[in-house]
Amino acid sequence: MAKSKKQKTSARELAELGLAGVDTTKSKAPAYRRGRRKKETLELLTKYLGNVAATCAKVGISRATFYEWRQTDAAFDEAVREINERTLDFVEGKLLEGIRAGNAKLIIFYLVNKGKARGYSRRPEEVDAHEAEAAAAGSAELVRQHLEGLGVTAKGLPLEELARQVAAKIAGAQQ
């Protein structure tokens, strides 16, 4: 079946035809200029930690062009994926640095997102009012037990101070 003018040929279809790497973008710019702009886009995407809007604005392309390049250029798409993975690794590292420094908000964020299996979080739509009270009491008891195991008394401490003490105990245990 013939494709209409609006339908694009996918990278996979091009590869099946033995035309892998053929640029199918609608741009009238010469391929070498488009290649330079793609390279510049990838460099800026790294600098802006994966922020597509900021990158496109700096390069002078539309977001539509950026996403068209991702669809039509497998190497460009793979490079974007790699940048996003490196950015995630970087941000996770910063999160863990903050946790090691005793930042209570980051500790709570981590537990809510990574400690679900241990009861640190439940979706509100899954819990009725009685279950919520029981879960809160159970979570509070679990936290109290963990704190006792670390030798930290929570009674009367502000949350930030409690988090600092926990972080210090953990850091001491790791050394």
- Whose CA is closest to 109, among 121, 118, 97, 119? 121
**Contact predicate 61/36, CB 8 Å:** no
List all residues 6 or more positions away from 125 whose beta carbon is below 8 Å from its beta carbon: none
Give, for all 175 residues of the chain, the pLDDT tens digit: 454 444 455 556 656 655 555 555 555 555 667 788 999 999 999 999 999 999 999 999 999 999 999 999 999 999 999 999 999 999 999 999 998 998 888 888 888 888 877 777 656 544 455 555 666 666 666 776 767 777 777 677 777 777 777 777 777 766 6
Q: Which long-range contacts (CB under 8 A, 24 or more apart) does 59-65 make?
A: 61/37, 65/25, 65/27
pTM (predicted TM-score): 0.52
E-assigned strands of 22-160? none
Closest CA to 45 of 80, 94, 91: 80
Domain ranges of the chain: 24-89, 103-174
**pLDDT in the model for residue 140:** 66
pLDDT at site 111: 85
